[in-house]
Amino acid sequence: MDLSVIIVSYDSRFFLELCLRSLRASLNKIKSEIIVVDNNSNDDTIDMIESSFSEVILIRNKYNVGFSCANNLAVKKAKGKNICFLNPDTVVPEDFFYKIIDFKKSTNNVGIIACKMIDGQGIFLPESKRSLPHTSMVIKKFFGLKNSYYSNKQSEDAIGQVDVLCGAIMFMDKQVFEETGGFDEKYFMFGEDIDLSYKILKKGLKNYYYGDTSIIHYKGESTSKNSKYYKNFYGAMGIYYRKYIAKNIFSKILSFLTLELIIFFKSFMITSKLRSRTKPKDCFLISDNDYAGLKNRVTIKIDSIQKLSDKLENCEIIFDSNYLTFKNIISTMQKLSKKKGIIFKIIPKASNFLIGSYNSREHGEVILFDLNK
């Protein structure tokens, strides 16, 4: 088998369904399998997978074991020569795996490959490529000062080596993953991707950012910036620092106390970043279906992306993936991302809901509608 795609899911039922729909199209003619590890979700994730995706190999955990442990469990069952770790709140284009596999075959000493990520508004996510962390970087990041957390070695659309890739999308050889010891399970959430990227570099392999293809990473589904987020994020930085950078017990204790203070102040200073939103002036549906269940929402229906005006602003665009390819949807989102006030939604194939997000800091929006009307 060529590829095992591994997804760890927790309470992300609707985004996971969209992700799995996109995977069906992108894995066509590739000898592959999809493994979903559910970390004891409280929604109907299990029912959705069993009723709509019988081909998916499902691992049900009795409690939330975290990202690292869940992925390691899946790798033990994976049969693919290559593995791809993928977040449930992602959408991949139809040619994604063909491009990544071809790149891996044509490149020497490959460790991890990842790609350009955009959020639900089509905006580039800088965490697509990052630098190895160090003390001053973490301090500067805390104070909001200019720092090297995000890598500028490559442009958004370039292909080249970077130090750290994001755990939302990591493609690599299964044997290489196993030889490095896999994800360090001390990391519950965040930091495990930095750790793995560093272990790959120490092994003498190279991590590559592949900017010639893009995926959507809604991100807000797993990274809402609350006190739990800051505890996980800076706690992970502490694990990494004590594991690789701290030279003695004094520096380890000092780093622990410093990061605890950072977590406290970050959590204390949490303020809502939600902005009041202007209701979209128009709602465009791009489809060959009228969807009577959406008649009170849609104001203009068109049958081609090319019919969208270049002067669009303050509107909602609904892409019907029963009619459009995910590749076209993703490229259009990127093209229109700089327009003022445009909101994007997607109708997954054979589904009765719209899904999207306003930005990468918030949970996404799911809107159910009646398919039978």
| Residue pLDDT, tens place only, 324-365 | 999 999 999 999 999 989 999 999 999 999 999 987 777 788
Calpha distance 136→112 (Å, rounded): 26
Give the pLDDT score at 151. 86
Calpha distance 194→191 (Å, rounded): 5
Calpha distance 33→4 (Å, rounded): 5
Give the pLDDT score at 272. 47
175-199 CB burial, b ≥16 within 10 A, e <16? ebbeebebbbbbbbbbbbbbbbbbb
Overall average pLDDT of the 126-149 stretch: 71
Instruction: Break the chain into its structural domains and give their ranges.
Output: 227-268, 282-368
Interacting residues of 69 by C-beta distance below 8 A, sequence separation 6+: 183, 185
Q: What is the CA radius of gyration of the chain?
A: 21
Three-class DSSP category at 9: strand
Write down the pTM of the prediction: 0.87
Overall average pLDDT of the 9-32 stretch: 96
322 and 349 Cβ atoms separated by less than 8 Å? yes
Give the pLDDT score at 215. 98
125 and 149 Cβ atoms separated by less than 8 Å? no
Q: Tell me the pairing of strands 32-38 and 3-9.
A: parallel
Least confident range from 9-18, 96-105, 213-222: namely 213-222
Q: How sure is the predictor about 280, in pLDDT bands with cuts at 50, 70 and 90? A: confident
Give the pLDDT score at 122. 95
171 - beta bridge partners?
A: 84, 113
Calpha distance 53→9 (Å, rounded): 15
